[in-house]
Amino acid sequence: MKLKKLDLDQHFVFKTQSAGGIDTRNELYLNMGDHYMTTIHIFDIPEEFSDFWLTGITEIPGVTTTVDTVNNTKADFVDNIAEAITELTVQLDHAKNIADSDEIQNEIDPLRSLSLALRKDGEVIRQTYIRVYCYAATRDQLERKVNEVVKQIRKMSFKASVFLGEGMEEYQAMFLPAGEQRYLKNAREGIPLSGEVLGLSFAHNQTSLNDPFGSYFGYTQTGGTVYWDQFLVDKQRTYYNLFLSGDLGSGKSTQLKKIIWERAIRSDLVRIFDRSGEFRDTVHALGGKVVSLDGRDGTINLLQVYPSVTVGDSNEVDPVGSYKAHLKDLSVKYRLFNHDASGQEAQYFATQCDGLYRQLGLLGDSIGLTQKPFITERDANDYPTLSQLIDFVDQKRQNRTDDMEKKLLDHIYVTLNNLRKTYGELFDVHSTLPDYDGELVVSYDLSALADSYPEEVQDLQIYNALISSYNVCMKQGRIEKKAFDDGERSLEDIHHFLLVVDECHTLLNTNKAYVADLFVRIMSEDRKAFGAICLATQRLERMFPSGDNAQDRDTVSAINALRQIYTLCQYKIVLKHDATTIGTEKNPRILRQLLGDILSPSEFLQIPKFDKGEAMFLLGSEKLHMHFQVTKQELAIFKGGA
């Protein structure tokens, strides 16, 4: 097999490589270019252990302490302990006085307990390596620091020393697990400690997240770091969607911008739906495009058909599936503009659209859509406009004799005519808005749209733009999947896409539950194209009403669809929420209802007391109580919402 030459970004390597090198010639320390370093190795420990007996070592200020452990499967500790007990018993029989006898007996008792634990209780012995790394700007400062640290260690009844001539191996051990350290030139046996003794050494309640390709997002309550990669795949985390919620002032916008920033600097495709225009500065800083949906930057034809569905798990476009999904979307678009329309009327509207496509010859045969180019591959000007649809409906209603059909057609005609007369500049047009498939970051600014148009027009335009954006994302996803399937690109080198919908409760709620189907479809399909959707809201109550008093079928179905969206999110970030959003164990409100037993009662009680940026971060079966951290430079870029 011929090896492929990898492209090397020499400028990137030059900017990120370590500078200064390492000089190992001195047997006491390493010269790191701009500082000196040495390693103090602890080789013996106290004979008696109290709770948290190792905390004094791990809390020494101004140093880095590592504690590595590994099971020693080669040593037969049961036989070794038995031999030791036998030898001590012989010594006990020949003890000269009571004091010697008591001392020997004190050694025998813990060995017997340990032997019993190893044989019957599943106890294990772990080889333990404890190292303290000291740094200083000069050699004199380093020597003084080492002397001070060694004194502190010895006061705690530990024995420690700098192993001369082993500085490089000790430095390498910092980056190796204990099991791999045996391959170092200075490999030696560690301190044998039982699991019980190690359990007493320090508080083992530390939480952290260290994804191999993760970016730094903050720290946990126990001081652990959070390096998160949204697109990591393992046995527990198999998809990538994110739900972010928090009250006003909880830090929601800042965390959302940090997530966007982190994906954009990886060259991932990012599309943002921005209700208030607050992402504008962040997008400009990333060199992205801010697009207004009020028509000034282009229009979107609501009758254009996009290739939104693939065949199974492949990267092949399914034109039949895409067309069926489009017809379903058309019924949703109709109800977005006409909130009073019934499901039957919306479905009949989609049927009329299907009739128009067939009349114009865009479908080919009626079974397989075999005519090429497929309806999903046409030029923008090939698709009908709203006026053509109105003429088609008008002709149909004049020829209908069935009262029910004529009534439906009359309603549809009036609705479409009103849409054309009032907002024809937005909807009675071919698509002229570029798809921006060459832009990594695009934000659809909805603020101007909100200022000039009513809610139903906003919703319809957002829905159109969402479908258009998803098409661009899936187009990239199909390319990436083919490269991955063909072995041309590894999972680590894949370019992902992220769709961000801020203030999603304005579009996803029980009054517009029919919109949920599109999101369910996107969230179910995006994983196959290495993509994710991020939903953010500060109004959980509007998005997820309790449903306690819901009786009609449509409302119950709507609530279930919205909750399905929540379950399709692998990641959930819960920032500060008011107590009324949480409720009590006896009277649970929406947050308790959504999370169930994932959080404990005490964790629910903490949420209303969270500081800005403090959150419960749920990653499938894991959960982290953490603080999102942003730098001053990031805050300067993010601006509003910080």
DSSP characters over 256-289? HHHHHHHHHTTT-EEEEEESSSTTHHHHHHTT-E
Residue 306 has pLDDT above 80, yes or no: yes
Residue 506 lies in a domain: no
Q: Are 178 and 67 in contact (CB under 8 A)?
A: no
SS3 157: coil
CA 409 to chain CA centroid, Å, is 47
Tell me what the mean pLDDT of segment 435-446 comes to: 92
Are 160 and 28 in the same domain? Answer: yes
d(C-alpha 239, C-alpha 571), whole Å: 9
Number of domains in the chain: 2
User: What is the Cα gyration radius of the chain?
Assistant: 33
The pLDDT value given to residue 204:
65
* Domain that includes residue 346, residue range: 300-421
Residue 520 has pLDDT above 60, yes or no: yes
pLDDT band at residue 285 using 50, 70 and 90 as cut-offs? very high
Residue 478 lies in a domain: no
Tell me what the mean pLDDT of segment 429-457 comes to: 91
Q: Which residues contact 72 (CB under 8 A, 6 or more apart)?
A: 125, 126, 127, 189, 192
Is the N-terminal amide bond of 373 cis, ω within 30° of 0?
A: yes
Tell me what the mean pLDDT of segment 37-59 comes to: 90
Residue 463 lies in a domain: no
Q: Which residue has the higher pLDDT, 76 or 437?
A: 437
User: In terms of Cα–Cα distance, which of 225, 208, 135 is closest to 171?
Assistant: 135
Are 22 and 145 in the same domain? Answer: yes
Residue 534 has pLDDT above 70, yes or no: yes
The pLDDT value given to residue 614:
96
The pLDDT value given to residue 549:
56
Q: How does strand 614-619 pair with strand 209-210?
A: unpaired
Tell me what the mean pLDDT of segment 534-548 comes to: 81
Q: Global pTM? A: 0.75
Q: Average pLDDT of the chain?
A: 88
Are 43 and 167 in the same domain? Answer: yes
For residue 561, which amino acid is it?
A
Mark which of 393, 421, 449 sits at the end of a domain: 421
Token pair 């705690």 in the structure block, residue: 156
E strand map for 76-179: 125-136, 159-161
CA 153 to chain CA centroid, Å, is 41
SS3 477: helix
d(C-alpha 164, C-alpha 166), whole Å: 6
The pLDDT value given to residue 367:
45
Are 173 and 30 in the same domain? Answer: yes
d(C-alpha 253, C-alpha 462), whole Å: 20
d(C-alpha 207, C-alpha 146), whole Å: 30
Tell me what the mean pLDDT of segment 256-280 comes to: 95
Residue 218 lies in a domain: no
3-state SS of 552-566 is: CHHHHHHHHHHHHHH
**Which tokens go with 585?**
């164990």
493-518: pLDDT as tens digits: 999 999 999 999 988 888 887 888 88
Are 159 and 22 in the same domain? Answer: yes
The pLDDT value given to residue 160:
96
d(C-alpha 369, C-alpha 625), whole Å: 52
**Which tokens go with 5?**
């030459």
d(C-alpha 573, C-alpha 593), whole Å: 16
Mark which of 379, 394, 421 sits at the end of a domain: 421
Residue 307 has pLDDT above 90, yes or no: no
Q: How does strand 269-274 pair with strand 289-292?
A: unpaired
The pLDDT value given to residue 121:
62
pLDDT band at residue 229 using 50, 70 and 90 as cut-offs? very high
Residue 443 lies in a domain: no
Residue 75 has pLDDT above 80, yes or no: no
Residue 636 lies in a domain: no
Q: Are 263 and 441 in contact (CB under 8 A)?
A: no
Residue 280 lies in a domain: no
User: In terms of Cα–Cα distance, which of 319, 290, 292 is closest to 306?
Assistant: 319
CA 34 to chain CA centroid, Å, is 37
d(C-alpha 388, C-alpha 381), whole Å: 13
Are 40 and 172 in the same domain? Answer: yes
- Structure letter (DSSP) for residue 403: H
Neighbours of 143 (CB within 10 A): 16
The pLDDT value given to residue 552:
62
Residue 620 lies in a domain: no
The pLDDT value given to residue 1:
43
Task: Give per-residue burial for 467-491: e unless 16+ CB within 10 Å, then b.
Answer: bbbbbbbbbbbbebbebbeeeebee
Mark which of 397, 421, 445 sits at the end of a domain: 421
User: In terms of Cα–Cα distance, which of 82, 193, 205 is closest to 128?
Assistant: 193
What is the helix (H) or strand (E) element at residue 152, kind and residue range?
helix 139-155
Tell me what the mean pLDDT of segment 543-565 comes to: 72
